[in-house]
Every structure is written in structure tokens, then in C-alpha cells.
């Protein structure tokens, strides 16, 4: 099956990249339903880090301006109450990415209080794998972490939290072939996209996936009177790193709070990776963020809930 023709190409320039959601932004282009648009997306820190960067460089960054979003694109005929349907046709990484651990005082990461020092890992992305330490290779399944439409409320809105109109969703299953329905809040919808990840474990536990610049191709459509309360998507996955490629090791967290259970599960996985795979604790934390999936196993047997961390064995040499 041949690739669909590109109707519009949106480069990442000062005129097309923003670090906020704002319904007063002028669209960089207005397209008809059915149009295919190719977006150039910067990495989460707009190219300020690279192969020679260090943990100190990461810690010194001004993180007030993150998630550069390419757009917005207006879609003709989209009105409040409709759904903007965004089909993700293709995502192409540019050969590199990084995963960072910000200083614990920043508070980003599931175990931020246990990792006071910053860390930085540069990933060489080779085809469909990302290379880690000790011969570990993480399967790549690229997806956009931050995508959506403009909110109804006026003014500038942070790109950090997810919202009912999209935003920083970090749903790793929004890979090529997935389709996302967004509730339209303003005329034209005003779609933007960015913060792409070459891979990520469910939970993104250290605060980053494999952050990477990327070229993303989308097709747009409009469903009238959809009456959505939040985004909805369809996807064929993959649903974990190396799907159907062998066994996993799971560690459980059993607590009376879901976040506490998730922390316990990840903490136990770090113990496993250090003891059984010889990683440092920081390397284990980074690897968990890129390849380990958190799953809610049960929330019905009060007073405790179970969250498990799933480690795919296929990533090891």
C-alpha cells in the first residue's frame, strides 16, 4: 500500500511552534476534512540537548518552556460539539533521543524524592530499536506525547497537564495506524502536536520517555455532533515493548493508594534490575521509564489495590 500524498507540510519554525495552548493563536494553515498534513516536531527541549549533553546540562535548562507544539492547524467545518478525528499515518524519528531525570527537587517523576541528582542518557535510535547500556535494546514504537485541540477558555494554558481536549496525554499506544477523536471546543478545532517519544513504558515513571524529534503525518476528519467528554482512540498497539516476543518479569505494589502501589511496584523493579541485571539504580529508573509498563491489576478488593510493573525480557541480550 503506497503512502498517501502529503497535502500540507508544516515545518518547525518560530512562526509555527508554540509552548502553550491558546485559542487566540492564528492557524498556520486551514485544511479541509480528508487532508493529510505532515508536521515537523521538535523534541521536548527544542533541540537544546544532544549527544554531547550531560546531566548538568539537563539540570541547567529552563523548564518553564517545554513541549514545543507545531501548529495550530484549523480544520474547515469543525465546530464545538463535533469531534476532530486525527489519524496518525506515520511517525519517523530522526536517529536520536534522550531520557532525563531532573533533580529530585523539581518533583518530576514517580520516585523523584528518591533520586535527588539529575541523570541523562543519550539514545542512538537505529531503525526500530534504541540502544541502552550493556547491550540492552528497547523496541521503538514512536508516538506523539502531546497532541490535541485548543481549549474553550481564553488565554495561555500550560502544555504540562492533559485536558479533556487533549494535551500531554502520553498514551504510548497512539502509534502509526491509531486514530484519536478530540472534542472540539472552538471553531476550526486548532490542532497542535509535539513532544514525540520513540518509546515509553506505561507510566513514564522517571518523567521522560525516549524524547525525540520526529516527523509526524496525520489525516484529519470531522464527526458532527459527537458530544465527547474526553478524547477517545482506536489502536492496534503494540501494547508493550516487544509485544508477543517472550516472557516478562512482574513486580507488585500492594497499597491502599494507587500512587503508593505504583511507587512500590517500581521500587521493587529497580531492586530486581540492580540485583539481577547489574544496572545502577539510576540506569534502572531510566530503563523503567522507557520500557516497563505499569498496570492496574485490581481496584475492587478494599482496602488495598494492586499495581504491577511489567518488564519485557526480550530487551536483554
CATH of the domain at 84: 2.60.120.580
Residues 176 and 60 in one domain: yes
Is residue 241 situated within a structural domain? no
Query: Which pLDDT value is given to residue 245?
Result: 67
pLDDT tens column, 181-210? 999 999 999 999 999 999 999 999 999 999
Q: What is the DSSP letter of 79?
A: -
Is residue 3 situated within a structural domain? no
Is residue 219 situated within a structural domain? yes
Residues 201 and 302 in one domain: no
Q: What is the DSSP letter of 211?
A: B
Residue 1 predicted with pLDDT over 70 = no
Is residue 295 situated within a structural domain? yes
Residues 218 and 92 in one domain: yes
Which domain-ending residue is among 202, 234, 266? 234
Residue 74 predicted with pLDDT over 80 = yes
Residues 284 and 162 in one domain: no
Query: Which pLDDT value is given to residue 283?
Result: 98
Query: Which pLDDT value is given to residue 2?
Result: 63
Residues 260 and 215 in one domain: no
Rounded mean pLDDT, 236-240: 83
**Domain span at 308:** 248-315
Residues 219 and 253 in one domain: no
Residues 37 and 135 in one domain: yes
Contact 312, 241 (CB under 8 A): yes
Mean pLDDT across the chain:
95
Residues 230 and 252 in one domain: no
Is residue 127 situated within a structural domain? yes
The percentage of the chain sitting over the pLDDT mark of 90, rounded to a whole number, equals 93
Q: What is the CATH number of the domain that holds 307?
A: 3.10.28.20
pLDDT tens column, 147-192? 999 999 999 999 999 999 999 999 999 999 999 999 999 999 999 9
For the whole model, what pTM was predicted? 0.94
Is residue 229 situated within a structural domain? yes
* Short-list 65, 62, 68, CA closest to 14: 68
Query: Which pLDDT value is given to residue 95?
Result: 97
Q: How far is CA 188 from the centre of its chain?
A: 25
Structure confidence at residue 65 as a pLDDT band (50, 70, 90): confident
pLDDT tens column, 13-61? 999 999 999 999 999 999 999 999 999 999 999 999 999 999 999 999 9
- What element of type H or E holds 192? strand 191-197
Per the structure, the count of domains in the chain is: 2
Residues 99 and 154 in one domain: yes
Q: Helical H runs in the chain?
A: 55-60, 258-277, 281-291
Radius of gyration of the chain (CA): 19
Rounded mean pLDDT, 218-222: 98
Phi/psi of residue 106, each to 5°?
Answer: -70, -30
Characterize 28-40 residue by residue with b for buried, 16 or more Cβ atoms within 10 angstroms of its Cβ, and e for exposed.
beebeeebbbbbb
Residue 244 predicted with pLDDT over 70 = no
Considering only 128-137, 196-205, 239-248, which range has the smallest mean pLDDT? 239-248
Amino acid at each position: 500500500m503506497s503512502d498517501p500524498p502529503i497535502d500540507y507540510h508544516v515545518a518547525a519554525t518560530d512562526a509555527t511552534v508554540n509552548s502553550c495552548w491558546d485559542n487566540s493563536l492564528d492557524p498556520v494553515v486551514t485544511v479541509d476534512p480528508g487532508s493529510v498534513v505532515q508536521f515537523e516536531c521538535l523534541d521536548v527541549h527544542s533541540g537544546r540537548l544532544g549527544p554531547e549533553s550531560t546531566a548538568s546540562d539537563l539540570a541547567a535548562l529552563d523548564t518553564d518552556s517545554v513541549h514545543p507544539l507545531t501548529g495550530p492547524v484549523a480544520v474547515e467545518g469543525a465546530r464545538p460539539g463535533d469531534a476532530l478525528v486525527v489519524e496518525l499515518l506515520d511517525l519517523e524519528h530522526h536517529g536520536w533521543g534522550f531520557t532525563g531525570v531532573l533533580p529530585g527537587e523539581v518533583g518530576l517523576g514517580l520516585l523523584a524524592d528518591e533520586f535527588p541528582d539529575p541523570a541523562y542518557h543519550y539514545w542512538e535510535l537505529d531503525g526500530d530499536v534504541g540502544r541502552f547500556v550493556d547491550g540492552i535494546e528497547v523496541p521503538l514504537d514512536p508516538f506523539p506525547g502531546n497532541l490535541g485541540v485548543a481549549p474553550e477558555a481564553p488565554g495561555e494554558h500550560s502544555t504540562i497537564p492533559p485536558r479533556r481536549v487533549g494535551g500531554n496525554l502520553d498514551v504510548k499506544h497512539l502509534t502509526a495506524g491509531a486514530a484519536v477523536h478530540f472534542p472540539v471546543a472552538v471553531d476550526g478545532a486548532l490542532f497542535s502536536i509535539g513532544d514525540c517519544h520513540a518509546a515509553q513504558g506505561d507510566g513514564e515513571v522517571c518523567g521522560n520517555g525516549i524524547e525525540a524529534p520526529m516527523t509526524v503525518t496525520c489525516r484529519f476528519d470531522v464527526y458532527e455532533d459527537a458530544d465527547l467528554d474526553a478524547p477517545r482512540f482506536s489502536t492496534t498497539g503494540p501494547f508493550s515493548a516487544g509485544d508477543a516476543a517472550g516472557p516478562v518479569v512482574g513486580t507488585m505494589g500492594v497499597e491502599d493508594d494507587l500512587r503508593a502501589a505504583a511507587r512500590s511496584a517500581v521500587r521493587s523493579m529497580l531492586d530486581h534490575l540492580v540485583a539481577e541485571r547489574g544496572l545502577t539504580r539510576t540506569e534502572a529508573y531510566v530503563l523503567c521509564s522507557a520500557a516497563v509498563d505499569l498496570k492496574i491489576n485490581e481496584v475492587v478488593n478494599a482496602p488495598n489495590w494492586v499495581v504491577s510493573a511489567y518488564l519485557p525480557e526480550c530487551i536483554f541480550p
